[in-house]
Amino acid sequence: MSIPIKNAAEIDAMRLAGRLASEVLDMLTPHIRPGITTREIDRLAHEHMVEVQGGIPATLGYQPPGYPAFPASLCTSLNDVVCHGIPDDRPLKDGDIVNVDVTVIKDGWHGDNSRMFVVGNAGIAARRLCQITFEAMWKGIAKVRPGARLGDIGHAIQTFAESAGYAVVREFCGHGIGRRFHEEPQVLHYGRPGTLDELQPGMIFTIEPMINAGRREIKEDRRGGRPYDGWTIVTKDRSLSAQWEHTVLVTETGYEVLTVSAGSPPPPAFATAGYGGARATALAAPA
Ligand code: MF3
Ligand code: CO
Ligand code: CO
């Protein structure tokens, strides 16, 4: 099996899907405050994707082999939830951290991205985890260029996260994306430089590290003795977990982040150092 290469028209379609996915997060941002429920966040996002964007929420009814159909239009992963949290009726509390992961299908093409939100006034440890995870994602993105290998991305993320004292989740990875939500390649967030597939212009994949404040091990969420919902993953040691995600294109000279919009958090300085040069385009939010 090989990694799909997108042509110019397909890349244009992916730029649109990516921008729309990012704009859903922009729209949600002022709403993510103490008291709102994740179900309400889901409803706002669903309505925006369908009514405003003319798109389809990719997660709603999504059912990979062995899973139940996902019941919501986004994932909300709160505190010790690593990924795939299902929106529910509990209100967000001051000090929570929550990942909101949105995937929009527009004209048949997928844009996939997530951000961390700090609810009200969170402690220094929670804020540092979110910040380091953001930078870890960008350490991976900054490796993307033709001739680099997937192992270079994973290695950059792992060494950065581990030197900050955190652990990288191994069981979930980034993924190729296009007409399909998840396609080749798998993008591991750990690894060894110079290993795995070589990147070529026209490849599009996500980079979406899950970083734990404690140990890297995870488990299915059966908190409170409830039956497993089939999706929600938590840290085994109940430590906090954070995640950020962008959809990234390999260009002739470097990379282009496709999930950008006016509200995209600006890249860290180490990623913008070459901005305007050959390495990267569309890094920053449009003015
Ligand atoms: N958006 C997630 C990703 O980044 C996948 C969510 S699948 C769902 O790949 F069914 F849990 F929504
Ligand atoms: Co993804
Ligand atoms: Co996602």
Give pLDDT tens digits for 41-67.
999 999 999 999 999 999 999 999 999
Q: Please give the C-alpha separations between residue 92 and each of 36, 95, 124, in angstroms, as whole numbers.
A: 6, 9, 18
- Residue 132: strand pairing partners: none
> Which ligand 1 atom is the nearest neighbour of the CA of 62?
10
**Ligand 1 contact via 103 beta carbon (within 6 Å):** yes
Residues ≥6 apart with Cβ < 8 Å to 275: 267, 283, 284
Task: Give the whole-angstrom CA distance, residue 6 versus residue 11.
Answer: 6
Binned at pLDDT 50, 70 and 90, residue 285 comes out as very low
- What average pLDDT does the structure give for the chain? 95
Angle at CA 199, nearest 5°, toward 193 and 200? 160
Q: What's residue 275's pLDDT?
A: 53
Nearest ligand to the C-alpha atom of residue 76 = 1
Which protein residue's CA is at the shortest distance from atom 2 of ligand 1?
101
Ordered by start, the domain boundaries in the chain are: 8-282
What does the pLDDT look like over 200-228, one tens digit per residue?
999 999 999 999 999 999 999 999 999 99
Which protein residue's CA is at the shortest distance from atom 8 of ligand 1?
59
Give the tokens for residue 30: 């002022």
Q: What's residue 234's pLDDT?
A: 98
> What distance in angstroms lies between residue 182's CA and the mean position of ligand 1's atoms?
9
pTM of model > 0.85:
yes
Mutate to test the pocket of ligand 1, among 84, 114, 243 (most ligand atoms within 8 A of CB): 84
> What distance in angstroms lies between residue 91's CA and the mean position of ligand 2's atoms?
25
> What distance in angstroms lies between residue 175's CA and the mean position of ligand 2's atoms?
6
Largest CA distance in the chain: 54
Which residue matches tokens 């180490």?
270
- Smallest Cα–Cα separation from 206: which of 265, 152, 249, 159? 249
> Which ligand 1 atom is the nearest neighbour of the CA of 172?
9
Binned at pLDDT 50, 70 and 90, residue 281 comes out as low
- Smallest Cα–Cα separation from 14: which of 156, 202, 210, 164? 202
CATH code of the region 8-282: 3.90.230.10
